[in-house]
Structure 1
Amino acid sequence: MVTRVKDVMGAVAIAVHREATFTELVATMRRFKVSAVAVIDADGRPVGVVSEDDLLLKGTGASYGETLLEGRGRHHEREKTTGPTAREIMSSPALTVTAETSAREAARLMNDHRIEQLPVVDPASGEIAGTVHQADLLRVLDRRASDILVDVATAIARLRLDTRTLAITVDDGVVRVGGRLARRSQIAQLTEAGRRIEGVVDLEVDATYDHDDQPETWPLRV
């Protein structure tokens, strides 16, 4: 079973409008205990994101390594009631997912872009429908190596591969398969099947093969 964003997402859509002030941004982050908020237009569609880093770059008074809600940021928040709005501060466009996005894909997006939450949008209207957090995804993706190993072995059996000729290891969600396969094309089949398994961050196949059924195609010279 593939876990999707809808299975773990929060029902609350954490967002502000484009005219939200600095003070409102900080209040929203503090209320929901998040480090970023989505910025939506009048129709409720995400158009950008404001993070603590975005605010720090605008000169909030916090020093490097301090979060917006600590240290000098607290003092500056009390003093600053006007100033740049979310429209001026936000990073755009907003990175979003839908409820049907797989948990693994959402986790990859967060990892690649170094963010901790994503707006979830309705695919038909584009309106924000909720928020999925990194912690939500980790609860379902953080599986025991032994459980992942069982699922990988099952996937190999479904492909009718000989497990006796393969060595499989799991380390922090990374699956490595070595040994010998009958055909070269089985490498791609195994990689595709393995990466669909919950908890598998990546799958690496380093196996030899008896028959090359994917010969190189050389371009014709004219």
Structure 2
Amino acid sequence: MSIEVKDVMGRTAVTVLVQASFGEIVAAMRRYAVDAVTVIDAERRPIGVVSEDDLLLKEIDPVRHSVSIFESRRRRRAHDKAAAVTAGELMTAPAITVTPRTSVRDAAQLMHARQIKQLPVIDVVTGRVIGVLRRRDVLRVFNRPAAELEKDVRTALPEGVPFTVEIDAGVVTVGGRVRRRSQAIALAEAVRAVEGVVDVVSEVVCDEDDFVVVPPLM
């Protein structure tokens, strides 16, 4: 079973309007104990995100009012943010979003690839923000009840074969017998793909090795 964003997301998203001031953004972050807020337009559609890192530039950029022509685009953008006073000027845009039906695995890969801490969740019809997915929400899949996790693991295993399954802190040990080594490898990968599995220990025995070692070309 693929766990979707709707199963773990936060139902309340902390948002600010594009014209919100620096002080209003800081106040919202402190009030709701979050490290980023979603910037929305008048229709509650996300247009960007302001994070603590964006706000910190105000403090750590000592030359924010002078820009060298030799600076990179990224560095110039940092200077601009250091001098910014509204959400529209501070935000990183466009907002990277997910929907309730996005798989948590895909969302996690997106977070890792883009190096972001949270994703606004939008309604697929209106495009409006309806929640937020944070990194801590993604990590909740590793706290699944053992019985629930075992059920999904067994669903991933081939039918008709008496496999044994043991789970300890998300580590799944699978035992049994298959005909070919390639089947044992595929089985372990299928279990590893189950949401909430931390690692797989395969104790599956195979009757024949169907992997052919090709000698290197001379």
Fold conserved (TM > 0.5)? yes
Q: 1:107 to 1:89 in 2, by over 3 A?
A: same
- Report the aligned-residue RMSD: 4.0
Query: Over residues 36-58 of structure 1, what are the superposed CA-to-partner deviations in whole Å (9 max), with x where a residue is unaligned?
Result: 01122343222221110111124
Shift of 1:140: 4.3
Residue 128 of structure 1 is matched in structure 2 by 129
2: CA distance between counterparts of 1:14 and 1:118? 12
1: CA distance between counterparts of 2:150 and 2:13? 36
Residue 55 of structure 1 is matched in structure 2 by 55
- Is there any run of 5+ residues in structure 1 with no aligned partner, and where? 62-81, 217-222
2: CA distance between counterparts of 1:208 and 1:57? 57
Q: Map residues 26-41 of structure 1 onto 2, 5 A cutoff.
A: 26-41=26-41
Question: Are 1:21 and 1:83, in contact at CA under 8 Å, matched by a contact in 2?
Answer: no
Q: 1:212 to 1:32 in 2, by over 3 A?
A: same
Q: 1:46 to 1:208 in 2, by over 3 A?
A: farther
Q: Partner amino acid for 2:142?
A: L
Provide the secondary structure at the position in 2 that maps to 1:29.
helix
1: CA distance between counterparts of 2:7 and 2:141? 10
Q: Map residues 1-222 of structure 1 onto 2, 5 A cutoff.
A: 1-59=1-59, 83-111=84-112, 113-143=114-144, 148=149, 151-158=152-159, 160=160, 163=163, 173=170, 181-183=178-180, 184=182, 187-188=185-186, 190-192=188-190, 194-195=192-193, 197-201=194-198, 210=208, 212=210
Shift of 1:213: 8.9
Shift of 1:205: 7.2
Shift of 1:91: 1.9
Query: Over residues 45-72 of structure 1, what are the superposed CA-to-partner deviations in whole Å (9 max), with x where a residue is unaligned?
Result: 22221110111124368xxxxxxxxxxx
Q: 1:212 to 1:46 in 2, by over 3 A?
A: farther
Query: Kindly, what percent of the aligned residue pairs are identical?
Result: 46
Shift of 1:14: 1.7
